[in-house]
Amino acid sequence: MTKQKVLVSKAAPEAPRKPEAEPERVEETTYEAVASICSVLVVGLFILTFLAQNFVIPSGSMENSLLVGDHLVVDRITLAPPAHWMPLVRYREPRRGDIIVFIKPVSSPGDPIDADGKPEYLFLVKRLVGVPGDHIHLRDGIVIINGVSQAQPNAQPTTPDNFNEFLDEFPSVPPGEVPGSTESWDVAFPNYIQNGDLVVPPGMYFMMGDNRHNSEDSRYWGFVPRANIIGRPLFNYWSFKSPESEYEQTGLVHRIAWMGHVALHFFTDTRWKRTFHRTR
């Protein structure tokens, strides 16, 4: 039996490859770098001006829903007046139960003033309790709207120890009889009382803090006009343990000292569980 030979053809040797030319590196010009930075700043400014805004909680009037040192992203679009140039945005009117950021409608004793001695714009955050047309009164700290008691899962409860007639039986005690109320509200207050209820007029809203016994709100200075509403907080992007007095300080030396404190205690005093916590 003869053996058959299997012939294996050898591949032709490959021709040596020419080294590929390195791509030419194009360096960014100074003009292009500046243009890139400017575009980022413009986009950021647009977002902060029209879409969202950073807001820090300076007081305990909304505890425990919001804590001093919570840093929030505020939606400025949903509650804004509808705009024809943004037809795809979902607009709506403020609703009872919304947490609202707004400009305080009147100044109270102790509010900050500018260099000219005029009251500064003061941004507040409270919960919307009454909308236009609502009849409101409180009985033993329970909010009653249009004759119906409201569920208040976030509100500080009223107890025999913290009961305050002005705060918990509002509007049975006129605001002029308590410290902290404004003169304009004291004068206008009787015009909105019907059968023991406070009636919210058109275009106005009634705000209260969740920390009911430590909140200067609409009970002290009256209604918030629709035009003063800025937006509603979406979520808490950072929360840092802070004393309530911290955000009342304005001196440069104190600001620098506080920045050093934050840098030193960033990991220990950050409330990590509240990071990206949804605001409700």
Provide the pLDDT for residue 6: 46
Strands (E), 177-228: 193-194, 197-199, 204-208, 224-225
Is there a catalytic annotation at residue 126?
Answer: yes
Highest mean pLDDT among 9-23, 28-42, 231-245 belongs to: 231-245
* pLDDT band, very low/low/confident/very high, at 40 (cuts 50, 70, 90): very low
Provide the pLDDT for residue 15: 58
Provide the pLDDT for residue 85: 58
Q: How many domains does the chain have?
A: 1
Asked if 186 contacts 220 with a C-beta cutoff of 8 angstroms, the reply is no
8 within domain boundaries: no
7 within domain boundaries: no
Burial class (CB in 10 A: 0-12, 13-18, 19+), 193: middle
Provide the pLDDT for residue 41: 46
% the chain with pLDDT above 70: 79
Q: Are strands 277-278 and 204-208 parallel, antiparallel or unpaired?
A: unpaired
* pLDDT band, very low/low/confident/very high, at 50 (cuts 50, 70, 90): very low
% the chain with pLDDT above 90: 61
Residue listed under structure tokens 């305990």: 60
CA dihedral of 164, 97, 227, 75, whole degrees rounded to 10: 130
Indicate the residue type of 102: F
Backbone angles phi, psi at 46, to 5 degrees: -60, -45
Residue listed under structure tokens 């943004």: 86
23 within domain boundaries: no
12 within domain boundaries: no
Is there a catalytic annotation at residue 61?
Answer: yes
268: domain CATH number is: 2.10.109.10
* pLDDT band, very low/low/confident/very high, at 189 (cuts 50, 70, 90): very high
| pLDDT at 84 exceeding the cut of 70 | no
109 within domain boundaries: yes
19 within domain boundaries: no
Asked if 60 contacts 68 with a C-beta cutoff of 8 angstroms, the reply is yes
Q: Residue 155: left (phi > 0), alpha (psi -120 to 50), or beta?
A: beta
What's the whole-number average pLDDT of the chain?
84
5 within domain boundaries: no
Q: Which residues contact 135 (CB under 8 A, 6 or more apart)?
A: 145, 146, 147, 194, 197, 198, 199
| pLDDT at 138 exceeding the cut of 80 | yes
Provide the pLDDT for residue 47: 44
* pLDDT band, very low/low/confident/very high, at 159 (cuts 50, 70, 90): very high
Structural domain for 220, as ranges: 51-278
Out of 12-21, 170-179, 240-249, pick the least confident: 12-21
Q: Which of 58, 100, 123, 62 is nearest to 226 (CA)?
A: 100
Mean predicted confidence (pLDDT) in 129-133: 97
Find the catalytic residue in 59, 65, 104, 126. 126
Provide the pLDDT for residue 83: 62
Provide the pLDDT for residue 137: 97
36 within domain boundaries: no
Mean predicted confidence (pLDDT) in 17-24: 60
Mean predicted confidence (pLDDT) in 76-93: 74
Residues recorded for the chain: 280
